[in-house]
Amino acid sequence: MKNKNFLIYGVFLFITYSAFSIDGNISSVYLTDELKFSKESLSFVKMISAPANIVCSILSGYMSGEKPFTCMRYITLVMIGMCCYNIFVLLGNFPKKQEDQQSFWNLVHVGTTVLVKELIDNFWFTTSFAVITKIVDKRVAGIHITLLASITNLSQFSHKFYIFSLVQKFGIFYP
């Protein structure tokens, strides 16, 4: 690649999105399949997060309009911290008994973390397109935006190859 901005952006996405990709692909499967947490409870939280995502997109567009790189840096750090919290705290201390899983405070804890993670992901996605529009050449913006959006999707998808091979190799889902 001759344009250093594309290369830097692709490397940045690949490195920073690994935490969210691991959390997104592993934690919900582990929570519902292995720990037998209710899928209905998770679906209810995602139903609530849908209207909140619209508000979050508007807020993200406003906040990242002036300085999208600074906003992207902070939201990426928050995203990595939240993903680590989900993996190490939420899943690490999750109760095994079905009665304890359906307690009020456990449902609030799971619901809050899933909702915050959904909102952070939406905020990050909107901010990433604010960054894309800052580094593209305005004369051929459509081509560059398509290219950078493809790099964004590739960096999110490429982590699935080694995540699922690690799960299969180390048998994470075995009791």
Band of residue 153 on the pLDDT scale cut at 50, 70, 90:
low
Who has greater pLDDT, 152 or 120? 120
Q: Using CA atoms, how far apart are residues 165 and 57, in angstroms rounded to an integer?
A: 34
What tens digit of pLDDT does each residue of 57-109 get? 888 888 888 888 888 889 888 998 998 898 888 888 888 887 888 888 888 88
164, 22 Cβ separation under 8 angstroms: no
Can you list the positions of beta strands (E) in the chain? none
What tens digit of pLDDT does each residue of 56-70 get? 888 888 888 888 888
**Considering the entire predicted model, what is its pTM?**
0.72
pLDDT at residue 16, rounded to an integer: 79
- Helix (H) or strand (E) segment spanning residue 147: helix 141-157
Q: Using CA atoms, how far apart are residues 128 and 116, in angstroms rounded to an integer?
A: 18
25, 31 Cβ separation under 8 angstroms: no
Ordered by start, the domain boundaries in the chain are: 4-170
Three-point CA angle 161, 79, 158, nearest 5°: 15
CA 175 from chain center: how many Å? 27
Q: Is CATH 1.20.1250 the right assignment for the domain spanning 4-170?
A: yes
pLDDT at residue 15, rounded to an integer: 80
